[in-house]
Amino acid sequence: MTELQTLFDVIPIGIAIADDPDCETIRMNPTYAEMLGLDPTTNASLTVQADGDPPYRLLRNGQALTTDALPMQMAAASGHAVLDAEVDILRGDGRVIHSISYTTPLFDEQNQPRGSVGAFLDITTLKRAEAMQRFLADASSLLGASLDYQTVLQNIAQLAVPVLADCCFFDILNSQNRFQLLTWQHVDPAKQGWFSRAQCHTPTIDQERHPVVQCLTTGQTVFLPDVTDEWIESIATDSEHLQFLSVSLSLYPAPPACPPGSSWRAGRRRCRIPSDLS
């Protein structure tokens, strides 16, 4: 048992064990606890928290799974293994972990299901790499499809959402030395029509703390890994601007690939940013 416990603690695969057929108590190893964003001693069951506010959710195709569709609950209820199931973990901090789950039932002496055990493999890095490869391939095609830079930037913004970001828009510095919002793309349909509203809050050249101003006046990338309420308040020009920033998006301007005289803003507020973008 000591050897098994050691393996349970150190194996780099998420392991969860349900000790009852309704999966009301689920133990987990440190790896799975990290994937869920929980303390390893926490009961990871979603069955007992179905009516409350769970500390995490399991999704498939962007939709939260009902209790009876959760892999461990399905295996325990049916007595059959649920293998090779892709499940996304939406943590309480907003971070999404992509995983493949393998669950199998546990049986008692009467050969009746008494619980289940699940193994969860974190494939987030693989998914991110696949998405980035698709994005770069599609972006390369778009860059060669038109000589009009406005059309190219519009297409890039549409491509970036939601693969790389929840929102993406481009600013240019025009011939009058003023910033001009060129295109806007948002993952939320209710905010997709905010182009004119965003235009009202395009920064001016004297807003030195604004990342777009810093980017286009210095020619350097400005990367903000954590957009806090305090930071938003520091760049807001008035209460209306503050409200707009608070509910719309985070700002991560100017990747090196931007055309001269333009900046790119995209991001997910309060989410961990992949290390390859930093």
What total number of domains does the chain contain?
2
| CATH code: domain of residue 141 | 3.30.450.40
pLDDT tens column, 124-182:
999 988 888 888 888 888 877 777 888 888 888 888 887 777 888 888 888 888 888 88
Integer CA distances (angstroms), 201 to 5, 6, 130, 248, 260, in order: 57, 56, 35, 12, 22
Token duo for residue 120:
């969860």
Rounded to the nearest 10 degrees, what angle do helices 149-163 and 124-143 cross at? 170
Judge if 138 and 173 occupy the same domain: yes
Judge if 83 and 163 occupy the same domain: no
Judge if 185 and 87 occupy the same domain: no
Instruction: Tell me what pLDDT residue 239 has.
Output: 87
Judge if 103 and 24 occupy the same domain: yes
Judge if 34 and 86 occupy the same domain: yes
Judge if 159 and 39 occupy the same domain: no
| CATH code: domain of residue 81 | 3.30.450.20
Written in H, E and C, the secondary structure of 1-40 is CHHHHHHHHHCCCEEEEECCCCCCCEEECHHHHHHHCCCC
Judge if 72 and 166 occupy the same domain: no
Judge if 238 and 182 occupy the same domain: yes
Token duo for residue 196:
């004119």
pLDDT tens column, 27-56:
999 999 999 999 999 999 998 765 567 889
Please provide the average confidence, as pLDDT, over all residues in the chain: 82
Token duo for residue 72:
């461990």
Instruction: Tell me what pLDDT residue 235 has.
Output: 85
Domain containing 261 equals 126-277
